[in-house]
Amino acid sequence: MDNATGWASSAGLSRDDNALRRRRPNAALGGAVRQSGRTPIMRPPQRALLISAACTSFALTAALPPTAAAADDDARSVQVVMVNFTDSSFTDPAKSRTALKESYFGRTGSLTSYYNEVTKGAATFEPGAGENGVLGPVDVPVAAAGCDTGKIYNETLKQLEEQGLGWDDFAHLSLAFPGDKAGCGFGGLGSVGGGISWLPVSADGGGVDQTVLSHEFGHNFGYPHQTRIPCSGTDLADCQESEGANSRKTPMGGGTLSVGLTAPELLHSGWLSGKEAVKVTKSATYTLNSLYGGQDRTRALDIPIGEDRLVVEYRHASGTLDKRLQGVHAYRIPKGNYAGAEMIDMTPDADHSFDSGEPDADSLAAGVTLTDKENEVQVKIAKSGGPAATVAVSLNGVPAPAAADTDGEQQAEPQTEKTDPAGSGEEDGSGADDDSGLAETGADSRLSTPLMAGGAALVALGGAFVFKSRRKRAPSGAHRAG
């Protein structure tokens, strides 16, 4: 295995809508770790990691070998490990274990219940070893102060190996530890396209914040932070480079658990069927159903615009999702990189925050027509409201017929494979070649301070250790919880 393919990091989301300053990592990334357990191999970044003091979550991008998406009916094993430091421990391990079990595997308000609903059962999780999938606490020879994530990972992996556990036994590894003394500066850390997450929690029995947990597992599935593109008009040529403002349409873009994933994220993971995601190949008018409405109906349009693509979705309240979202949204897909989608926003001066503004003021109203004159593409919102919208797409200058295509699935192509995650070595479309291997975020980049560069190097050592050890033993199912 080649461990020189790159390593990159990206910090998490601030409540300030202008907080996210984005650079696309340039590491080569794989898909989510298979249940068969490919081990992440990472090397340190070229300079110190920057993170704002205002960050609430943090993401680590690992260079991983390409892996296939899990089968729709294949539950992904999640191993949660409680970690004690030399100077900071869980004060009530039994209470913490119960809280963590509910955070990950509870019937409602959990990681499992969220992704089950968002993916309509395509992504399911099962507990790993230990009591209800939670092992520990394990004692590691690491001091809490400094939040050395590399050492935490390495030492925990050694403990698991001593118990006969390794990456053959789980697809995701979550390290939960007392965050009071650690001073991590983030609410969660997750490897993008990998399977590792670090979660600082309360030492006295608290669980994991659900928005943070779903966000970090989103990173594991290959999603970076999702931003918006400010546009001064309806021609896509009038859109500027993203300034880093959160899209607010997904937990990966500053949304809470009240919103689902966006259509491009679902497409990246192969969680929309060919009937649900129509790859538009000719001019037509479509009835676009709610993204989280009934299955086997058109839920997203995938439209070619030169080398890029445009994905159009319609959001409407369904189940526990999207209660504050209503309307059509469009996303620019740079060179087919669905994970790196950016939302088109013609209201850049509006306040889209959920707690103080109008979160869905940026939806495309009926009568609005997006155009790409260079590629002769038009997308007109003919109707928007209720459980469905009507969208007319004109390709190559050919006007779309007025009547909606009720048999749009004939133009659909199956979405069966994952796309490359953001940061796969392609330019970010801005014209800048970012060779730092880092993605920076924060309330204000001027407040950024160096953090955890040494830990990254130790993560690389840990990855090599696990890979070498894994090859010495056969996978064992004996450690799985029933």
DSSP one-letter code for 343:
E
Residue 163: predicted pLDDT: 95
pLDDT at 267 over 90: yes
Q: What is the 3-state secondary structure (H, E, C) of 351-393?
A: CCCCCCCCCCCCCECCCCEEEECCCCEEEEEEEEECCEEEEEE
- 3 state SS of 231: strand
Q: Which of 253-257, 294-298, 303-307, 321-325 has the lowest mean pLDDT?
A: 294-298
Query: How high is the pLDDT of residue 472?
Result: 28
Q: What are phi and psi of 400, to 5 degrees?
A: -80, 140
Q: Which letter does DSSP use for residue 466 in this model?
A: H
Other CB atoms within a 10 A radius of the CB of residue 92 amount to 12
Q: What is the pLDDT of residue 306?
A: 94
DSSP, collapsed to helix, strand or coil, labels residue 262 as coil
Q: Does 462 or 195 have the greater pLDDT score?
A: 195
Q: What is the pLDDT of residue 323?
A: 87
Q: pLDDT at position 441, please?
A: 25
Helices (DSSP H) in 165-300: which residue ranges? 210-220, 263-268
User: Taking a C-beta distance cutoff of 8 angstroms, is the pair 29, 50 a contact?
Assistant: no
Closest by CA position to 166, among listed 377, 480, 466: 466
Residue 246: strand pairing partners: 227
| 286 in Cβ contact with 402 (< 8 Å) | no
Q: Please measure the distance between the N-terminal and C-terminal CA atoms of the chain and give it in whole angstroms.
A: 33
Mean pLDDT of 376-382: 97
User: Could you read off the pLDDT of 188-215 as tens digits, one per residue?
Assistant: 999 999 999 999 999 998 889 999 999 9
> Over the chain, what is the mean pLDDT?
74
